[in-house]
Amino acid sequence: MEKNKDEERLPSDATPCRGCSVWLAASLALLLTATGSITSCATTPSAPTPAAAAMPVAISPQRDWSDAIIYFVLIDRFADGDGANNERVDRSNPGAWHGGDLPGLRAQLDEIAGLGATAIWINPVVKQIDAPVWAQGPPGSEWARGFEHWPFHGYWADDFERLEPHFGAEAGLKALIDAAHARGIKVLLDVVYNHVGYGARYVSAAPTRHWIRTRPGDCAVDPITCQVGGLPDLRTELPEVREHLFRAHLGLARRVGLDGFRLDTVKHVEHDFWRAHRARTRAELGAEFFLLGEVWGGSNEVLDEWFAPDEMDAGFDFSFKGSCQAFVEGKGRTVAFAAYLAKRQRLRAGYHLAHYLSSHDEPMALYELGNDVAKFKLCVALQMTSFGIPVIYYGEEVGRRGAAWPSNRSDMPWGERAQPPGRDVRRDEALRDYYRRLIAARRAHPALARGAFRALATDGDLLVFAREDGAAKDAVIVAINRGARDATVSVPLPAGWEAGAVREALSGARADVRERMLSVSVPARTAHVYVGGAATSGTSAWPTFASSM
Ligand SMILES: [Ca+2]
Ligand SMILES: [Ca+2]
């Protein structure tokens, strides 16, 4: 496994932009501020809408995790449903608490269901440390001079056996999960086994201080024993540490009915731990309990180190975001990108990749593409027509204004809705509708989730490929024109397609087919998704989800 020194040093939970070495090194010398003078901002959250509370959106659940579409929410930044837990809320500070909570997320589940997502991933909810650290944004950025960084993201645990009051109580978590399940949506909870928050109670309390590694290693040499982001590293090899963590996390999962975990900082915990963890989750939570691991730098090849011994079901594909952005920016040959897409499908059977465009640890894709919505939409189309589990980072589907860390963790925009913490009325509803149409196509066509990849045309800036699932007798043809000029090519119809039934799924337009050749004519910087055959008839066994309300 290739190891990047800077990446190793910068965990998802500590310093959010792991690729920026200089300023990060500085920001890692974080100062614990015992008492910050924090501006308090009382808020009055809006009540859940009656429609959201009373009328669940009926969507067909995912058939298995290869069909999943995950929506990742930072709870504090999504929706505030309880003003009583808004201690130290300061929405002017990108590192402060902003007031979002579990009741708020529950009240806005139809926002997610209406998009077509089949699962949500929420950040860790355990009790967090009570003090901020001082952090600095990238040089030249709005936050370069620094800001107080509070654990609003949930990755700085103080007590694994309690929940963080800012997020809500355990009953609130269970209510969220029940409400999600009523909508056919599964819930993954982020859990951290590797470390605790800066100055957490475990570090100083007599019964637990020996749980913390006192002589941490160098991350470039030993990722297991180092302090990721300077965070106190748990001695996860100790049986009593494992037992404490397993009881806390698995006990919560069982009580509230979670469907799986998103595992943080996987490469910083020993394989033996993950094998024991897998055995415990299977024994206590069932064989279906899903484990999605964050191996920084993960790809289909890198992740096999964890798949081969069956330590988890899925891992993030860190290669997709950058590869997609480079392609739509015109970098590299089209045939090379097609080869990349084909190669990432070489995965151990029964395991999954999860690919994203933006995350809490990386700059927003739209920002990195110069806020060029046309280019971003090409990446969205590629994400939704590619192998793996698409992960949508909250708000990117409406063009959330986010940049590099810390601005990649901005508030969910709610438009004209009086829903704090988001006050940005700018929502790109056309972009959200584009997501919805792509997701509807993906959910109607199993070939897009699991079908084989076959390049059909790679000349110039036009990429045309087929996704074909023989078992489901399903096929889809995808055309991505990254160029500034219209492009046209003819490709043969897949077997089983009737010439008169072929249409472009995003527009609904009937396709041009002559003598079983499909004329793929794509305007500049546009994606087309062609469907034909039985699954387009509207009688598919998998109905499309209802509209949002
Ligand atoms: Ca709140
Ligand atoms: Ca460790």
- pLDDT, one tens digit per residue, over 158-210 is 999 999 999 999 999 999 999 999 999 999 999 999 999 999 999 999 999 99
Q: What is the pLDDT of residue 183?
A: 95
Angle at 165 between CA 53 and CA 92, to 5 degrees: 85
One DSSP character per residue, 459-477 reads STTEEEEEEEETTTTEEEE
Q: What is the pLDDT of residue 549?
A: 28
SS3 534: helix
Q: Is the pLDDT of residue 16 over 50?
A: no
Residues in the chain: 549
Lowest mean pLDDT among 102-106, 194-198, 345-349, 539-543: 539-543
pTM for this structure?
0.89
| 265-290 average pLDDT score | 98
| 465-476 average pLDDT score | 94
Residue 2's CB is within 10 A of a number of other CB atoms, namely 8
Q: How confident is the model at residue 317 (pLDDT cuts 50, 70, 90)?
A: very high
Residue with tokens 């103080």: 158
SS3 110: helix
Q: How confident is the model at residue 291 (pLDDT cuts 50, 70, 90)?
A: very high
Residue 367 CA to residue 426 CA, distance in Å, equals: 15
Q: Is the pLDDT of residue 270 over 80?
A: yes
Q: How far is the CA of 73 from the centre of ligand 1 (A)?
A: 15
Q: How far is the CA of 401 from the centre of ligand 1 (A)?
A: 22
- What whole-number percentage of the chain has pLDDT above 90? 83
Question: 71, 322, 326, 284: which is closest to 186 by C-alpha?
Answer: 71
Q: Is the pLDDT of residue 325 over 50?
A: yes
Taking the CA of 8 as reference, the closest ligand is 2
Q: Is the pLDDT of residue 395 over 50?
A: yes
| 487-511 average pLDDT score | 94
Residue 64 CA to residue 68 CA, distance in Å, equals: 7
- What whole-number percentage of the chain has pLDDT above 70? 86
Question: For residues 375 and 483, is the Cβ–Cβ distance under 8 A?
Answer: no
SS3 224: coil
Q: Is the pLDDT of residue 518 over 50?
A: yes
Question: 443, 431, 535, 542: which is closest to 68 by C-alpha?
Answer: 443
What element of type H or E holds 243?
helix 239-256
Question: For residues 101 and 108, is the Cβ–Cβ distance under 8 A?
Answer: no
Q: Is the pLDDT of residue 527 over 80?
A: yes
Q: How far is the CA of 272 from the centre of ligand 1 (A)?
A: 39
One DSSP character per residue, 146-203 reads -EEE-STTS-SEEEEEEE-TTT--HHHHHHHHHHHHHTT-EEEEEE--SB--TT-HHH
Question: For residues 198 and 30, is the Cβ–Cβ distance under 8 A?
Answer: yes
Question: 184, 160, 42, 179: which is closest to 104 by C-alpha?
Answer: 179
- In angstroms and rounded to an integer, the radius of gyration of the C-alpha atoms of the chain is 23
Q: How confident is the model at residue 18 (pLDDT cuts 50, 70, 90)?
A: very low
Q: What is the pLDDT of residue 58?
A: 52
Q: How far is the CA of 68 from the centre of ligand 2 (A)?
A: 30
Q: What is the pLDDT of residue 299?
A: 97
Greater confidence (54 vs 437) lies with 437
Taking the CA of 213 as reference, the closest ligand is 2
426-453: b (≥16 Cβ within 10 Å) or e: ebbeebbebbbbbbbbbbbbbbbbbbeb
Q: What is the pLDDT of residue 61?
A: 76
Q: Give strand pairing partners of 314.
A: 292, 352
Would you say the C-alpha torsion 509, 515, 516, 520 has a positive or negative sign?
negative
Taking the CA of 194 as reference, the closest ligand is 2
Residue 401 CA to residue 396 CA, distance in Å, equals: 8
The string of pLDDT tens digits covering residues 402-455 is 999 999 999 999 999 999 999 888 999 999 999 999 999 999 999 999 999 999
Lowest mean pLDDT among 109-118, 390-399, 531-540: 531-540
Q: What is the pLDDT of residue 423?
A: 81
Q: Is the pLDDT of residue 119 over 50?
A: yes
468-502: b (≥16 Cβ within 10 Å) or e: bbeebebbbbbbbbbbeeebebbbebbeebeeeeb
Token duo for residue 315: 């891992």
Q: How confident is the model at residue 12 (pLDDT cuts 50, 70, 90)?
A: very low
Q: How far is the CA of 84 from the centre of ligand 1 (A)?
A: 6
Question: For residues 223 and 194, is the Cβ–Cβ distance under 8 A?
Answer: no
Question: 150, 126, 129: which is closest to 200 by C-alpha?
Answer: 129
| 304-332 average pLDDT score | 98
Give the start-end residues of each E strand in 482-549: 487-492, 503-504, 512-514, 517-522, 526-531
Question: 508, 512, 504, 502: which is closest to 533 by C-alpha?
Answer: 502
The crossing angle, in degrees rounded to 10, of helices 239-256 and 170-182 is: 50
Lowest mean pLDDT among 52-61, 93-102, 192-201, 263-272: 52-61
Taking the CA of 222 as reference, the closest ligand is 2
Question: For residues 114 and 548, is the Cβ–Cβ distance under 8 A?
Answer: yes
Q: What is the pLDDT of residue 425?
A: 81
Residue 376 CA to residue 374 CA, distance in Å, equals: 5
Residue 192 CA to residue 518 CA, distance in Å, equals: 50
Question: For residues 410 and 401, is the Cβ–Cβ distance under 8 A?
Answer: yes
531 contact partners, CB below 8 Å, separation of at least 6: 441, 444, 445, 476, 477, 502, 503, 505
Q: What is the pLDDT of residue 491?
A: 97
Residue with tokens 């599964």: 186
Question: 294, 309, 367: which is closest to 121 by C-alpha?
Answer: 294
Q: How confident is the model at residue 57 (pLDDT cuts 50, 70, 90)?
A: low
Q: How far is the CA of 208 from the centre of ligand 1 (A)?
A: 31
SS3 314: strand
Taking the CA of 167 as reference, the closest ligand is 1
Q: How far is the CA of 220 from the centre of ligand 2 (A)?
A: 13
278-290: b (≥16 Cβ within 10 Å) or e: bebbeeebeeebb
The string of pLDDT tens digits covering residues 235-262 is 999 999 999 999 999 999 999 999 999 9
| 101-128 average pLDDT score | 97
Q: How far is the CA of 269 from the centre of ligand 2 (A)?
A: 5
Residue 8 CA to residue 379 CA, distance in Å, equals: 27
Provide the mean pLDDT of the chain.
88
Q: Is the pLDDT of residue 9 over 60?
A: no
How many Å from the N-terminal Cα to the C-terminal Cα in the chain?
A: 46
Q: How confident is the model at residue 42 (pLDDT cuts 50, 70, 90)?
A: very low
HSE of 447, CA atoms in CB hemisphere, 13 A: 28
Q: How far is the CA of 175 from the centre of ligand 1 (A)?
A: 16
What element of type H or E holds 240?
helix 239-256
Greater confidence (231 vs 543) lies with 231
Q: How far is the CA of 80 from the centre of ligand 1 (A)?
A: 5
Q: How far is the CA of 420 from the centre of ligand 1 (A)?
A: 9
